[in-house]
A and B are shown apart, each in its own frame.
Chain A
Amino acid sequence: MSALLSATGLHAGYGDVEIIHDVDLRIDAGEIVTLIGPNGAGKSTLLKAIFGAIRPTQGRVHFRDRDVTTLSAPQMVAAGASFVPQTDNVFPSLSVRENLEMGGYARSDGVEERIDELLGLFPDLAAGAGQRASRLSGGQRQALAIGRALMLDPVLLLLDEPTASLSPIMRGEIFERLLRVRDDGVALLIVEQNAKEALRISDRGYVMVGGRVVLEQSGAEMLDNADVGRLFLGQSPEPAPDVR
């Protein structure tokens, strides 16, 4: 079976500065894949390059058996992918319901039904559907951002640090919701600093260091990997690049 999404020999960056170098990555349908690594490893840049938010300088990205390397972000949305940025991921002056409506902007019908489904998935939001997004708590904001990204029924959801600066309880809730999203058939590619919790729900994980993928293992293997544990799962404050 071919992968839902694959990146091959991908290079990307900003201006003349190359951040990611020769990255290979694959996500199968319905999988949860987590990308971990130290700050500045290029994880967010990789997500953006895959999603078309920045243009790769070399390499190819294939999604649903189609070369999408040169597609823009709106074109990737139309192709069935969706992206939740780490910050500024809701429209603050719009209400919760309006945020979801905007997530379904490209939808020709069934917008209200989909909003009701997603408010069912995130009951915290349902009670305040009419309030402005700027008034939401951090956890509610992330839930709204994920809900907004699910409005077009994507088959792949890319999430950039969805639990950053959330309390442990809220983190647990977000990961539990992400499992339910996966159960609905959506594949997830997650960049996450709270690596241990993310790997627990992941089928596979990639470790990125210095803009390169240095390790690929199943989520369970990575949790058992002593080097990964020491370097990235909070058992050592000293990150080192060589974890092969």
Chain B
Amino acid sequence: MDIVQLVIVGIIVGSIIGLGAIGLTLTYGVMKFANFAHGDLMTLGMFLAFFIVADVGLEGGKIGPLSFGWGMLPAALFAMVGVAAAALLLDRLVFRPLRLRGGGIITMAVASLGIGIGLRAVVQMIWGPSPTRYTSGINKAVTIFGEVKIQPDQFLIVALTLVLAVAVYVLLYRTKLGKAMRATADNPTLAEVAGIETESVRRWVWVLGGALIAVAGIMLALQAQLRFDAGFNLILPLFAATILGGIGNPAGALVGGLIVGVSQEVSTEWIDTGLKPGVPFVILILMLLVRPRGLFGSSV
């Protein structure tokens, strides 16, 4: 494939990884542990949207050249609220009790690994093991220039990622709640001493991270397809992007996602496509060895 086309596909895949990594880096920065259930929350998001669009049947015709109809809007909203609620519930039932008991990062991470396995099993039980799609329609690619083509859905993925990244930036740097999230990530003990209700801040971080990963899940399903293990398969690129961008740094996570996505796709010019998933792993190892603080350092 043309290298420019590979870069374009990389940007699309990287946008999905980047958006997912923004949620991951926020929870990592504030909760101080690696949430291995993040990918499975992504899967939950894509299937909650599927529930509205396919199971309930709220397809809503077609939106212009896109592959889906207006029904995707309430479906996305439902997925965002659903995943945020699931993340809050998990915090209340598992992570918060562990946190209050002084559970270390290993305990929390292992708990999240177990939760991820559980979520995956639930999704598989409800929606089955076979891959599926939101709609059966074809999303016809349009030529941008030369031989380079892009599907309207893919264009939306990149645009929506940029819009959401800007919205997250505004939230974190321009609002009182966002600044409290950054303060809590910086120094939770001092945040409490300063009178910030850190437990409330943590809840909002779960809501934000959950909503973002739900959107990323829907994007992943649009770009590829719905699978019970789709989010889990993306966990390594998500962590690679998070560490590349600097833990707790949302802008870094987006750039990290784009770097991971583009290098993964462009690598197929020289290596077998089947080896592509190994690229984020190599990036992750290199970053941990050479610059564990990430390219941009931790800012949250």
9-residue interface stretch from A1-9, A16-24, A83-91, A172-180: A83-91
- Cβ of B183 < 8 Å from any Cβ of A? yes
Complex Cα–Cα for A98 and B179 (A): 7
A89: which B residues are within 8 A, CB to CB? 190
Residue of A with least CB distance to B197: A74
- Which residues A157-187 have CB closer than 8 A to chain B? none
Complex Cα–Cα for A175 and B225 (A): 65
- Which residues A87-124 have CB closer than 8 A to chain B? 88-94, 98, 101-103, 105-106
Pick the contact of B192 from A74, A88, A92, A98 — CB < 8 Å? A74
Give the shortest distance, in Å, between B194 (CB) and chain A (any CB): 5
- Which residues B247-300 have CB closer than 8 A to chain A? 298-300
A74: which B residues are within 8 A, CB to CB? 192-193, 195-197
A91 in contact with B300 given A78-B195, A105-B180, A105-B196 (CB within 8 Å): no
Do the beta carbons of A91 and B190 come within 8 Å of each other?
yes
Pick the contact of B186 from A72, A73, A93, A152 — CB < 8 Å? A93
A101: which B residues are within 8 A, CB to CB? 176, 179
Complex Cα–Cα for A80 and B287 (A): 46
Complex Cα–Cα for A85 and B194 (A): 11
Residue among B189, B192, B195, B299 with most chain A CB within 10 A: B195
Do the beta carbons of B182 and A94 come within 8 Å of each other?
yes
Pick the contact of B194 from A51, A93, A105 — CB < 8 Å? A105
Number of A-B contacts (CB under 8 A): 64
- Which residues B178-210 have CB closer than 8 A to chain A? 179-180, 182-183, 185-187, 189-197
Complex Cα–Cα for A210 and B10 (A): 64
Complex Cα–Cα for A240 and B196 (A): 42
- Cβ of A223 < 8 Å from any Cβ of B? no
Give the shortest distance, in Å, between A72 (CB) and chain B (any CB): 8
Give the shortest distance, in Å, between A207 (CB) and chain B (any CB): 26
Query: CB-CB contacts of A136-162 with B at 8 A, as 1s and 0s?
Result: 000000000000110010000000000
Do the beta carbons of B299 and A102 come within 8 Å of each other?
no
B189: which A residues are within 8 A, CB to CB? 85, 88
Complex Cα–Cα for A94 and B176 (A): 12
Do the beta carbons of B299 and A53 come within 8 Å of each other?
no
- Cβ of A77 < 8 Å from any Cβ of B? yes
Query: CB-CB contacts of B150-181 with A at 8 A, as 1s and 0s?
Result: 00000000000000000000000000100110
* Chain B residues touching A, majority SS: helix
B185: which A residues are within 8 A, CB to CB? 93
A88 in contact with B176 given A77-B195, A93-B298, A93-B299 (CB within 8 Å): no
Pick the contact of A152 from B179, B195, B197 — CB < 8 Å? B195
A148: which B residues are within 8 A, CB to CB? 194
Complex Cα–Cα for A77 and B193 (A): 7
Do the beta carbons of B193 and A91 come within 8 Å of each other?
no
Residue of B with least CB distance to A89: B190
A91 in contact with B195 given A101-B176, A105-B176 (CB within 8 Å): no
Complex Cα–Cα for A14 and B17 (A): 43
Do the beta carbons of A103 and B176 come within 8 Å of each other?
no
Complex Cα–Cα for A148 and B299 (A): 20
Pick the contact of B183 from A83, A85, A94 — CB < 8 Å? A94
Give the shortest distance, in Å, between B226 (CB) and chain A (any CB): 38
B186: which A residues are within 8 A, CB to CB? 91-94
Complex Cα–Cα for A105 and B195 (A): 7
A93: which B residues are within 8 A, CB to CB? 182, 185-186, 298-300
Q: List 24 A-B contacts (CB under 8 A).
A: A51-B193, A72-B192, A73-B193, A74-B192, A74-B195, A77-B194, A83-B193, A85-B189, A85-B190, A85-B193, A90-B190, A91-B182, A91-B183, A91-B190, A93-B185, A93-B299, A93-B300, A94-B182, A94-B183, A94-B186, A102-B191, A102-B196, A148-B194, A149-B194
Residues of B within 8 A of A (CB): 176, 179-180, 182-183, 185-187, 189-197, 298-300
Residues of A within 8 A of B (CB): 51, 53, 72-74, 77-78, 83, 85, 88-94, 98, 101-103, 105-106, 148-149, 152
Q: Other than A85-B190, A103-B195, A152-B195, give 13 A-B pairs with Cβ distance below 8 A.
A: A51-B193, A53-B193, A78-B195, A88-B190, A93-B182, A93-B300, A94-B179, A94-B183, A101-B176, A102-B183, A102-B194, A105-B180, A106-B195
